[in-house]
């Protein structure tokens, strides 16, 4: 990686509005993994998905918030990895000589191992290694079904109605009927709960269903949807660049900015019955 990843990624999307569809050039927020290492002894302590930019600040803030360091003085230097070429998805943090950090609490953050050069391609490769199949191009649904989902999701959010502070993931059948909904302070957790519910009820795969999440759709949302073979994923806000890449590779119809009688299709337009 000879230059740092850009904060935005260009993409062609399809705007579906009042049953009509038109192409549009759009900008996606770039999503890439960042591997945070301490330099001596060299050890990866976390891999986190992020928008590129202010990576040194992210690493420093993470170490401080997790109690690895207590002040700026605990950091000797921060740099990107150099192993033959510049690696902008890996940050090395050299701690002050003699500082022995307690890394035990960080184990929950380490979700994958990687050689030097962790990137979006490596994240996609992890899905390929799980042998997740490409999802068949069914079912097909009308825009009207998609338009109806946000109100159904919101009306079923009992805890959100009371607190105003929770995300939700909702499961619908191909006719737009709400089957179940789960809430959590984290949208990824809400989807885990939803898929876990289907797993415990012996309802997987969910290859004839629709999922809608509040907020945006990220790599993690599409990763979990791929594993559960969910063919259509909808969100109130925009997807990230890596979310779109996952959707395109594994045959998922990815919908964003679902508001009123309008939404954008980032992948899998063939499942939406529209008039060009």
Catalytic machinery residues: 116
The C-alpha angle 40, 42, 46, rounded to 5 degrees, equals: 120
- Please tell me what DSSP assigns to residue 135: P
Burial classification of residue 68, based on how many CB atoms lie within 10 Å of its CB (0-12 exposed, 13-18 middle, 19 or more buried):
buried
Neighbours of 17 (CB within 10 A): 14
CA distance 194 to 175: 19
The C-alpha angle 256, 174, 243, rounded to 5 degrees, equals: 30
Helix (H) / strand (E) element for 153: namely helix 143-156
Give the 3-state secondary structure of 55-73. HHHHHHHHHHHCCCCCCHH
* N-terminal to C-terminal alpha carbon distance within the chain: 39
The C-alpha angle 154, 160, 166, rounded to 5 degrees, equals: 105
């Amino acid at each position: 990686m000879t230059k740092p990843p850009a904060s935005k990624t260009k993409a062609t999307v399809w705007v579906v509005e009042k049953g009509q569809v038109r192409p549009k050039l759009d900008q996606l927020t770039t999503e890439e993994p960042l591997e945070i290492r301490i330099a001596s002894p060299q050890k990866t302590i976390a891999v986190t998905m992020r928008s590129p930019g202010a990576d040194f600040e992210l690493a420093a803030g993470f170490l401080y918030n997790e109690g690895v360091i207590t002040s700026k003085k605990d950091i000797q230097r921060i740099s990107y990895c150099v192993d033959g070429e510049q690696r902008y998805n890996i940050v090395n943090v050299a701690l002050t000589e003699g500082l022995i950090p307690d890394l035990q609490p960080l184990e929950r953050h380490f979700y994958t191992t990687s050689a030097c050069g962790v990137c979006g391609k490596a994240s996609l490769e992890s899905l390929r290694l799980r042998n997740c199949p490409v999802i068949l191009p069914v079912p097909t649904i009308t825009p009207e079904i998609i338009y109806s989902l946000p109100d159904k999701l919101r009306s079923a959010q009992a805890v959100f109605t009371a607190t105003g502070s929770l995300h939700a993931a909702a499961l619908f059948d191909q006719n737009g009927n709400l089957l179940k909904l789960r809430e959590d302070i984290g949208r990824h957790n809400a989807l885990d709960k939803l898929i876990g519910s289907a797993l415990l009820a012996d309802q997987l795969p969910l290859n004839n269903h629709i999922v809608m999440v509040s907020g945006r759709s990220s790599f993690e949302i599409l990763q979990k949807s791929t594993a559960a073979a969910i063919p259509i994923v909808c969100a109130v806000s925009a997807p990230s660049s890596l979310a779109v890449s996952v959707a395109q590779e594994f045959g998922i119809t990815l919908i964003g900015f679902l508001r009123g009688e309008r939404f954008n299709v980032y992948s899998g337009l063939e499942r939406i019955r529209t008039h060009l």
